[in-house]
Structure 1
Amino acid sequence: MNTSFSRKAWRRAASAWVMLAGLSTSATAAGVVISQIYGGGGNAGALYRQDFVELFNAGSAPVSLKGWSVQYASANGQSWDVVPLGNVTLPPGRYALVQLEAGAKGSQDVPQPEVVGTVGLAGASGKVALVRTTQALSGASPVGQSGVMDFVGYGSASGYKGRGAAASPGNNITALHRREGGCVDTANNQADFELAGPIPRNGRVPAVTCPTSGAAASSGGAAGAKALKIAQIQGTGATSPVVGQAVQTQGVVTVLTNTGFFLQDPAGDGDAATSEGLYVALGQAPTVKPGQRVQVEGTVVEHNVGAPSNARSAAQTVTQLTQVSGVSVLGSDRAPVAVPVQLPLAPEAGLERYEGMLVTLAGPLVVTDNHYLARTGQLTLAVGERQFVPTNLHRPGTPQAQALAQQQARSRIVLDDASSVQNPDPTPHLGPERTVRLGDRTASLTGVLDYGLSGAHPNGPSEWRLHPTQAVQWTRPVPRSATPPAVGGSVRVASMNVLNYFTTFADGSSISGSKGQGCRQGASTSVENCRGADSTAEFSRQRTKIIAALRALDADVVGLMEMQNNGTTAITDLVNGLNAVAGASTYAAVPDPASGAGSDAVKVAMIYKPARLRRVGEALSDVDGIHNRPPLAQMFQTAQGERLMVVVNHFKSKGSCPSTDRARAEGNADAGDGQGCWNGQRVRQAKRLRQWVDGTLVPQTPQVLLLGDFNAHAQEDPIHELTSRGWVDVVGQRDPRAYSYAFEGLTGRLDHALATPALAARVTGAAEWHINADEPPALDYNQEYRQPACARCGPDLYTPSVFRASDHDPVLIGLDWASPPAPARAAR
């Protein structure tokens, strides 16, 4: 798979978001507060090019900011930079965006700001003030100076409001967020702010209504609280019947989180439609312990676990107790009995009635997503078996594909770690060999059922999730294999996506030691186009894994995708490294064709064993403009004198969806049938490939093999365009459930091997080697957000092995010319 920007940068931007679960209190008396601070703009790895400060009116009346300013000072600084806010009026429940200094990096601008300034913020530590004048403040901690309407110190700041400074973002992809979208102000920076990815909001964002009414509402807690059982607070519907009311309730503590705890009434009310569990949001670590019976007082809210614009999370809010004014330990009590729950649920059923309760999920429960294991401590589990992309097994839009999608949606649960901490240390849920592979399973799970984000992006998917009460015990029905599958044959051909093998790095250096370098993308040469390793150190780790995998494949020909398009530099480095372990001159690179390798930042490439195969003629390529990365073809002659044509491909990715009417008219918008964006272009690429191969290559030899990352699953239109016209899917023919890539909890096959019938008769075996797709990204070569680069983060799980060398599994095919061709195999 490939996108129009760095997969690594996307991972940083997307995975920087954290689950926002906090308390709700009042804002300042004037109603306007600093709701977000971001000082990483324009730096390495940043999504946005600019720093910004975001303001929010939590009050009930418009506030004119004319004559006001946002001011900034360094962590220990005493002089203040002033950004006048101009003639801005902020309506209630609305945001105003103050754009600040821009940097050279980042992939997009912040939304249209209300105010533009040139002040630069420090990402790790600093002080920001909202002031009712444009006169510069003075001193290191002017919190109480006249005209200061709000004040935020973060990191190691010498000045702050309340008991302590807000946490340090610590990197370029994290911002400070005032809890509950800006509604929380307890006059304590440490408690009022949390870390999440930057979400710059301007005046065009829909209005937000804070849980408390009015700007001057009291934050004194649950005065006049009504005594209710937990079931009465939860009610029988999707939302609590007592939202906004102060209540008092009792229960037994079941699970602790880093910002609160779950409470359950062990007696219950006897009504299966009402939940007996409730989350108590403290905004800080709790002091109670599981098994204690406690009485709590607070205000009932329905909490949206995602961004205000996240329609899915907004439709499934979580009942919580916030503004907690008292937690009293009454003694110990028997633990509530976990309720047995069996997935998949019937279509009309739901899990709302178990919200916040101890449940036992019957298994087997199988790991189907491990992408966020190290980042947010989450795994997605499915009942019975791992989950597949429906269009990998069925044609898009068919009743079978739709039914599978619906059934799978009802059959999964997110295993969480009861914490909103990013990059937790230690990494939770690890199994044998310090990993958790897709397909690993456990017999059953007991824990508290909750609803939250699946992943780390507040606008991303949200799911029901389970916080376990004890460590999970994993079994691995399919062991890891450090050797590829046996495919037989006298000639072995493979393909592998090498995950942006770039010899020019994101820090501007290169393998030659040069500095200030860039990567080519079209007419642009910039460090922003460099998609692979950040540094020489990371590249060394990446190179070690890629070479180990290629050496183990031991194929006679290998098609490669996502090689840096920098002439012979990257491919020569790879061949030299491979020959250093395989033996001098074992492999050689197929030269780029005379027509070139296209203008994309990455290209396809090919290596082969000269002692096993002889190149016949020069490499060929189709320069038709439909190709993002032109296919590469090379004819080889075997020891038996047979001629084989290998064609390496890399079709347009499913990401970076188009927005123009023309693109939609060309079938490139997401049609909702499971094929993603740019399907029309991939179909046209498949048609053009077929025409070129049939017209140019097949006349030279009928034995042609198409390899590569087609960015289309096995039953999708681009592959159907080829298989319906005689091309044989030699992997799917042997295993219709074969896979090479995993995304958002679903596995499928983007990497294919398609043969002419004449060549298909020579195939002795074809399979993927599952060293990558099943493994979590935490095992790859990247060093950010791991120890020792990040002291607060989880351990570095990297090993110099074949596992997680890339994100795609390699494909291996065996061909035999030593015996008569086998009869054609019927597709299963």
Structure 2
Amino acid sequence: MPSKSSARLAALTVAAVCSTVSAVVLTSPAQADSVHIHDIQGTTRLSPLAGQKVTDVAGIVTGVRTYGSSKGFWIQDPAPDADPATSEGVLVFTSSAPKVAVGDSVTVSGTVSEYVPGGAASGNQSLTEITKPTVTVLSGGNTVPAPAVVDAGSVPSRYTAAGDTAAGGSINGLTLEPAKYALDYYESLEGMNVQVADARVVTATDPYSELWVTVKPREHANRRGGTVYGSYESQNTGRLQIQSLGSTADFPTANVGDELKGTTAGPLDFNQYGGYTLVANQLGTLEKGGLARETTRKQSRGELAVATYNVENLDPSDATFADHAAAIVNNLQSPDIVSLEEIQDNNGATDDGTVAADQTVRKLIDAIVAAGGPAYEWRSIDPVNDKDGGEPGGNIRQVFLFNPDRVSFTDRAGGDSTTAVGVTKVRGKAQLTVSPGRIDPSDAAWNSSRKPLAGEFVFRGRTVFVIANHFASKGGDQGLAAQYQPPARSSETQRHLQATAVNAFVKDVLDTQKNADVIALGDMNDFEFSDTAKILEGDGELWSAIKSLPKSERYTYDYQGNSQVLDQILVSPSIRRGCDVDYDSVHLNSEFSDQVSDHDPQVLRFRP
């Protein structure tokens, strides 16, 4: 989607390669003569020489970065010390294209600095580097130090030590234990030449020419080649990001389950978008795994099929309508009800007060018909301009599509962007006061976030209440490789409030009609094991249907080498207790480099 992502692509492309832009420690530099690289790196994450000037630091050039705002090169001491905690490599930040080559023997004088990619507020670990360098090339064509082999045997199974409570939970000051903790092991190799071999891809190539591999092929593996993230306590230690020092045109276009055969080698960097990253001088040969997009089964005549699908900031200018339509018709088998997330207004990110999305929805419905699907009808509520978060000006919202040949929508007037939907009892049955309606849109839980859309449907004479959700994103959370362990998940606070509000509404429905069929679905932006999910489920008011799958198959999204759950379909007890309840996470996007959305859709089939 170039029209919407070009600015972000440019920014993140720079950020991905600019993780080492210098941030010099503002102290009066002292002098440290005749030091080795391992003296600079020390036995913790912070250099004992930070802020000091060093002279004639010797090493062999192992990698050169000539592009972006992170121009520089890595040097490594070919005569290591005996301490496995001290790295023998370091980045020399030059700010302009370096005048050295791989294999040069050099001495470097400059100032030791600790740079935090993304800034201190990100909580990221820092990267040790030499800044403002004076470089002397002594000779060329020298043998580069052999890369340290990173494999299943060398990476510990434990992820990290807990942070020092006296230091606010930071691990920066802890002495590295590379034989015990994975994060310590990677830190002990920071700046050094490393290699992986025959590594399986666990996150597909993204638009920024990077992918993720695992050096532990058996670690929480799923049947499609990914690595599943199943709890906060079971980190996947074998994940490693791969970038390249070569041309982006030569970077492999890989899907999950593919393999980088042979050796991939280069310096080990640390950046804002993923942490420890092998920046390759040498890339393995891509061997395709042949991963195919999944197709779910067709619902039977007596089954109601309800789906959720995040279509990633869809607006009329996008070129993905035919692809989304084909996915809905062919891969999802034309569900009876489809909850769509991230439908943008009629002019997308143009911030001119437009909030209507009828053109966006009509274009998608027309594409579905052209693909051989049903002529869906739709219901939604336009948001207040610029009040629902997402891409500025885009006014994303949830939309219901439904097949009128299979299901009907119960319209009740009065629902709008600021009116709260309620529940009443009519002839012993629960009924929405407005349909469609929004759940408590004035509640602070929904500030700068999408408000849930509730609708009342009828299938074969049975009323089904459907609540379409798109909870607050994980933006602002600290990364898995943060200096604070465990990392802070600040975004949870709002999602917990949102989950509380949705659960309270479902409870109102069930208090009114105990056996009501209620479905809450959408992009919950949180895991099935999270407190957000627990709050949503409450005291049994709802149950996340993805938990009906084996743990190795529970994922809807792929991020930094982790196959994980963000999208969920939760059901009330009457549905859960019913016969032939069938849930499917349909993997057609998240594992592929040519994805049209970053989320996989899900389908629930049941007999009301």
> Who wins on radius of gyration, i.e. which is larger?
1
Distance 2:558 2:210 in 1: 18
* Structure 2 counterpart of 1:634, one-letter code: E
Q: Secondary structure at the match of 1:682?
A: helix
How many Å apart are 1:479 and its aligned residue?
Answer: 1.0
- One of 638, 641, 645 as aligned partner of 2:464: 645
Q: Find the counterpart in structure 2 of residue 262 from structure 1.
A: 74
Q: Find the counterpart in structure 1 of residue 544 from structure 2.
A: 729
- One of 632, 654, 679 as aligned partner of 2:454: 632
Q: Deviations over 1:752-784 (max 9, x none)?
A: 2223344342445311112222345xx4xxxxx
Whether 1:806 and 2:597 are equivalent positions in the alignment is yes
How many Å apart are 1:417 and its aligned residue?
Answer: 1.9
Q: For this pair of structures, how many residues does the alignment match?
A: 508
Q: Secondary structure at the match of 1:731?
A: helix
From the superposition, tell whether residues 355 and 623 of structure 1 become closer, same or farther in structure 2 (CA, over 3 Å): closer
Q: Find the counterpart in structure 1 of residue 391 from structure 2.
A: none
Q: Find the counterpart in structure 2 of residue 566 from structure 1.
A: 356
Q: Secondary structure at the match of 2:109?
A: strand
Q: Deviations over 1:680-716 (max 9, x none)?
A: 32133222331343256x57x7444333233343233
Contact 2:492 2:532 in 1 (8 A): no
Whether 1:768 and 2:585 are equivalent positions in the alignment is yes
* Structure 1 counterpart of 2:75, one-letter code: L
* Structure 1 counterpart of 2:400, one-letter code: M
Distance 2:439 2:104 in 1: 72
Q: Find the counterpart in structure 2 of residue 549 from structure 1.
A: 327
Q: Find the counterpart in structure 1 of residue 15 from structure 2.
A: 17
Whether 1:738 and 2:550 are equivalent positions in the alignment is no
Q: Find the counterpart in structure 1 of residue 417 from structure 2.
A: none
Distance 1:316 1:576 in 2: 51
- One of 278, 284, 309 as aligned partner of 1:496: 309
Whether 1:714 and 2:531 are equivalent positions in the alignment is no
Distance 1:334 1:656 in 2: 44
How many Å apart are 1:816 and its aligned residue?
Answer: 5.2
Contact 2:199 2:213 in 1 (8 A): no
* Structure 1 counterpart of 2:340, one-letter code: L
- One of 367, 372, 379 as aligned partner of 2:202: 367
Q: Deviations over 1:420-471 (max 9, x none)?
A: xxxx63262423xxxx44x55557855344342132xxxxx7x232223421
Whether 1:610 and 2:404 are equivalent positions in the alignment is yes
From the superposition, tell whether residues 622 and 284 of structure 1 become closer, same or farther in structure 2 (CA, over 3 Å): closer
- One of 335, 358, 361 as aligned partner of 2:193: 358
Q: Secondary structure at the match of 1:582?
A: coil
Distance 1:367 1:611 in 2: 41
Q: Secondary structure at the match of 1:807?
A: coil
Q: Find the counterpart in structure 2 of residue 47 from structure 1.
A: none
Whether 1:467 and 2:300 are equivalent positions in the alignment is no
Contact 2:555 2:564 in 1 (8 A): yes
Q: Secondary structure at the match of 1:739?
A: coil
Contact 1:489 1:765 in 2 (8 A): no
Q: Deviations over 1:379-413 (max 9, x none)?
A: 4757444799x99845xxxxxx3x33xx44x5443
Q: Secondary structure at the match of 2:547?
A: coil
Distance 1:602 1:275 in 2: 47
Distance 2:396 2:85 in 1: 55
* Structure 1 counterpart of 2:471, one-letter code: K
Distance 2:122 2:341 in 1: 37
Contact 1:297 1:324 in 2 (8 A): yes
Q: Secondary structure at the match of 2:244?
A: coil
Q: Find the counterpart in structure 1 of residue 377 from structure 2.
A: 589
Contact 2:72 2:92 in 1 (8 A): yes
Contact 2:64 2:245 in 1 (8 A): yes
* Structure 2 counterpart of 1:356, one-letter code: G
Q: Deviations over 1:24-63 (max 9, x none)?
A: xxxxxxxxxxxxxxxxxxxxxxxxxxxxxxxxxxxxxxxx
From the superposition, tell whether residues 648 and 582 of structure 1 become closer, same or farther in structure 2 (CA, over 3 Å): farther
Contact 1:683 1:718 in 2 (8 A): yes
Structure 1, gaps ≥5 residues long: 1-5, 23-178, 184-207, 214-221, 395-400, 456-460, 504-535, 659-669, 780-803, 818-828
Q: Secondary structure at the match of 2:371?
A: helix
* 1:80-95 equivalent positions in 2, closer than 5 A: none
Q: Find the counterpart in structure 2 of residue 413 from structure 1.
A: 240
Contact 2:507 2:541 in 1 (8 A): no
Q: Find the counterpart in structure 2 of residue 749 from structure 1.
A: 565
Q: Secondary structure at the match of 1:367?
A: strand
From the superposition, tell whether residues 445 and 648 of structure 1 become closer, same or farther in structure 2 (CA, over 3 Å): farther
* Structure 2 counterpart of 1:263, one-letter code: I
Distance 1:606 1:560 in 2: 6
Contact 2:105 2:142 in 1 (8 A): no
Q: Deviations over 1:775-811 (max 9, x none)?
A: 45xx4xxxxxxxxxxxxxxxxxxxxxxxx22222111
* 1:56-67 equivalent positions in 2, closer than 5 A: none
Contact 1:487 1:767 in 2 (8 A): no
Distance 1:392 1:271 in 2: 33
Distance 2:41 2:487 in 1: 38
Q: Deviations over 1:92-116 (max 9, x none)?
A: xxxxxxxxxxxxxxxxxxxxxxxxx
Contact 2:203 2:559 in 1 (8 A): no
How many Å apart are 1:588 and its aligned residue?
Answer: 2.6
Structure 2, gaps ≥5 residues long: 162-176, 179-183, 346-354, 389-394, 413-434, 478-485
* Structure 2 counterpart of 1:752, one-letter code: Q
Distance 2:326 2:42 in 1: 58
* Structure 1 counterpart of 2:306, one-letter code: V
Q: Deviations over 1:268-292 (max 9, x none)?
A: 44554543334444444445443x3
* 1:105-254 equivalent positions in 2, closer than 5 A: 180=22, 209=26, 230-231=37-38, 234=41, 238-239=46-47, 244-248=52-56, 250-254=58-62
Contact 1:416 1:467 in 2 (8 A): yes
Q: Deviations over 1:337-383 (max 9, x none)?
A: 3333422365433244433322344785553585xx43364647574
Structure having greater relative contact order (Cα 8 Å, sep ≥ 6): 2
Whether 1:453 and 2:271 are equivalent positions in the alignment is yes
From the superposition, tell whether residues 244 and 362 of structure 1 become closer, same or farther in structure 2 (CA, over 3 Å): same
Contact 1:675 1:716 in 2 (8 A): no
Distance 2:436 2:192 in 1: 63
Q: Find the counterpart in structure 2 of residue 337 from structure 1.
A: 146
Q: Secondary structure at the match of 1:647?
A: strand
With the length of structure 1 as denominator, give the TM-score of the two structures. Answer: 0.53
Q: Secondary structure at the match of 2:496?
A: helix
- One of 93, 112, 137 as aligned partner of 1:301: 112
Distance 2:383 2:121 in 1: 39
Distance 2:240 2:47 in 1: 21
- CA RMSD in angstroms comes to 4.3
Q: Deviations over 1:285-307 (max 9, x none)?
A: 445443x3523343352341536
Whether 1:480 and 2:292 are equivalent positions in the alignment is yes
Contact 2:212 2:560 in 1 (8 A): no
Distance 1:568 1:293 in 2: 62
- What percentage of residue pairs aligned between the two structures are identical? 20
Contact 1:381 1:415 in 2 (8 A): no
Distance 2:321 2:500 in 1: 34
Contact 1:621 1:632 in 2 (8 A): yes
With the length of structure 2 as denominator, give the TM-score of the two structures. Answer: 0.69
Distance 1:319 1:742 in 2: 31
How many Å apart are 1:579 and its aligned residue?
Answer: 1.4
Contact 2:269 2:276 in 1 (8 A): yes
Q: Find the counterpart in structure 2 of residue 93 from structure 1.
A: none
Contact 2:496 2:535 in 1 (8 A): no
Distance 2:113 2:157 in 1: 24
